[in-house]
Structure 1
């Protein structure tokens, strides 16, 4: 018996874009690419191709980190809207560059093949023929040069600490998959993500926006960093059968599926504990407790994160064979949105935490 689509689980009906599409049909195709990382059926224009190639579906994780920093900074002395927006653009471009470089380096070392999950849940830029290796390398170089220009402008305005954030972020991004370090292969990829989406992105964006960085901001970014790490834990748990034979020792490979899922659930629960602790310590304003409204979403994903993944692709599931990652991302998207909404209310009504 065919099961109905469950949109709460990320199942999305396939979109078809005809030749000579209307603007509305183009928009539906772009939205489908953003939601699923896959192109729609039929007509694929340049923007759709770019959205798929850069894995734009996961960029909201970075937008939330940047918006969190900006909303904490907006009423602080020295805040500059222009520098904040420039820093926000910088971290989004850095995430795009990271996605592109991961595909490039994993292809170079022979990890990404037609049978590896990266080529199954979405078209691989090189393997699918979306682009060539040379073109992908040129894209990565162009994005990193744009980020370099942003870093230089911000460093000239705010001082050399911007260089520490920018260079540190680039090194962690490249070392995630690039030889010789390949942090992901050595069980350090999860720590890399925690540091990047917490202290580096939140702290670096706040500093760029204001020119100073109180310790409270470091702590304010930690709850959300746990959510981003949970997404990677879910993804690496999905990939255990593929990574273990290749001796890619991610944390889930080292722990095994059952314990890795327990850690993933612990990271999700830890988000709520740290959120309350950050408010109690006056690192986040009390309206940030709006983030607790996402607890029902956590309960929704809890079940799938305690069981074995389905043996076959559920009908309409867009990112198969990723299963745990989809559920963790669903929670992170909901929880992150509510956290930003709460901090936005604090900024609007001038409720400061520190």
Structure 2
């Protein structure tokens, strides 16, 4: 593994409540329901299976990288909470669209592992196989099984798209096909947007205008300009997570000719941009509320400022030279801190929008 040359004492790992202690769940061969649940929860938080017995559901959590799916759920909830009370709103179609974008994220994760293995990028020494079991390289699934699972998820998404098109018209098709193409092109030849420094733009567009805008349109049948604007602050948060991940992978990607934005910028400037995205969320949140694209209770997102302060230090200096005890997703370091901030900021933003929906506070 490349030397990460850090001289500072590692900060407290964000996913370990007991700093310095390895927290690993063990599931016995014949587990109780409570023990099974603990194993599922551990896999969902860390992307790693528990020790001992691993059932089919746990394998599914690990294979689909379910730990990062809340990013997509939040994007859908932002759209749905803005849509509540608007003309044409259908709770059924909203829930169907929410399921659709979550399945699209699952398919994206599966296809990324499939394509990155096919082109020779994912190997035992690459971070993807180190922070969590790689579906193919770890033996959890064969290439054929992963391909079939990816196909099944995409077919389910296609069925959801056809239902939404039947109710809302061809614009749903534009959102769904656009999202699929960006998802596939992220890692699949010949475009491989990630390799060409366009993966970060891909994520910004997908988790912002496409997911939020597409879900809102599916729920209501119309799409005012304010929704496009309202999607931008959260899109910055998701982009910050990818910036952190690609910064972690600079020593691995650069020799392979993978020109992500952090590879092009270098670590220091990449971290500066990641911090700028964190700050940009708060600045744009206030601006978007001021132009009445979000209701004022959305300012609850500012309550995540203490988390921003917490992650600022780790996002400002070299990563530790070796894995801190209890840190579950090593060698990802910056990505973990960026995800912690995105998770907390997204959660309080959703709470603010939920309060706005409950009390009928609308911005437009």
Specify if TM > 0.5: yes
2:300/2:351 contact within 8 Å kept: yes
Correspondence 1:85 to 2:95: yes
Give yes or no for the alignment of 1:236 onto 2:246. Answer: yes
Deviation at 1:10, TM superposition (A): 1.4
Counterparts of 1:241-280 in structure 2, within 5 Å, are 241-280=251-290
Q: 2:16 aligns with which of 11, 28, 39?
A: 11
Cα RMSD over matched residues?
1.1
Q: Within 2, Cα distance between the matches of 1:75 and 1:216?
A: 15
Distance in 1, Cα, partners of 2:212 & 2:108: 17
Tell me which of 128, 136, 140 is aligned to 2:138. Answer: 128
Aligned counterparts of 1:6 and 1:301: Cα–Cα separation in 2? 10
**Does 2:68 align with 1:63?**
no
Cα displacement (A) at 1:5: 10
Counterpart of 1:74? 84
Cα pair 2:10 2:319 within 8 Å, conserved: no
Relative contact order, CA 8 A, sep 6+: which one is greater?
A: 2
Residues 215 and 316 (structure 1 numbering): CA distance in 2 closer, same or farther, change over 3 Å?
same
Give every structure 1 segment of 4 or more consecutive aligned residues whose post-TM-superposition deviation is greater than 4 Å: 3-7
Matches of 1:83 and 1:237 in 2, distance apart?
Answer: 38
Inter-partner Cα distance in structure 2 for 1:346 and 1:6:
35
Tell me if the contact between 1:298 and 1:331 (Cα under 8 Å) persists in the aligned partners.
yes
**What corresponds to 2:3 in structure 1?**
none
Which deviations, in whole Å up to 9, do the C-alpha atoms of 1:254-313 show, x marking residues without a partner? Answer: 000000000000000000011000100000000000000100100000000000000000
Select 1:323's aligned residue among 329, 333, 340. 333
Q: How many residues align?
A: 351
Answer yes or no: is 1:153 the counterpart of 2:163. Answer: yes
Whole-Å separation in 1 of the counterparts to 2:16 and 2:271: 21
Distance 1:134 1:43 in 2: 24
Q: With structure 2 as the length reference, what TM-score do the two structures score? A: 0.95
Please say if 1:308 is aligned against 2:318: yes
Q: Which residue of 1 aligns with 2:4?
A: none
In the alignment, the residues of structure 2 paired with residue 6 and residue 193 of structure 1 have an alpha-carbon distance, to the nearest angstrom, of 28
Which of the numbers 181, 201, 204 marks the counterpart of 2:191? 181
Q: Aligned partners of 2:36, 2:150: CA distance in 1, in Å? A: 26
- Alignment partners' CA distance in 2, 1:333 and 1:161: 30
Provide the rounded CA distance (Å) in 2 between the counterparts of 1:6 and 1:53: 28
C-alpha displacement of 1:151: 0.5
CA–CA separation in structure 2 for the residues paired with 1:23 and 1:220: 41
Q: Deviations over 1:171-217 (max 9, x none)?
A: 00000000000000000000000000000000000000000000000
- Quick one: distance in 1 between partners of 2:107 and 2:257? 26
For structure 1, which runs of at least 5 residues remain unmatched after alignment?
A: none
Cα distance in 1 between the residues matched to 2:293 and 2:34 = 43
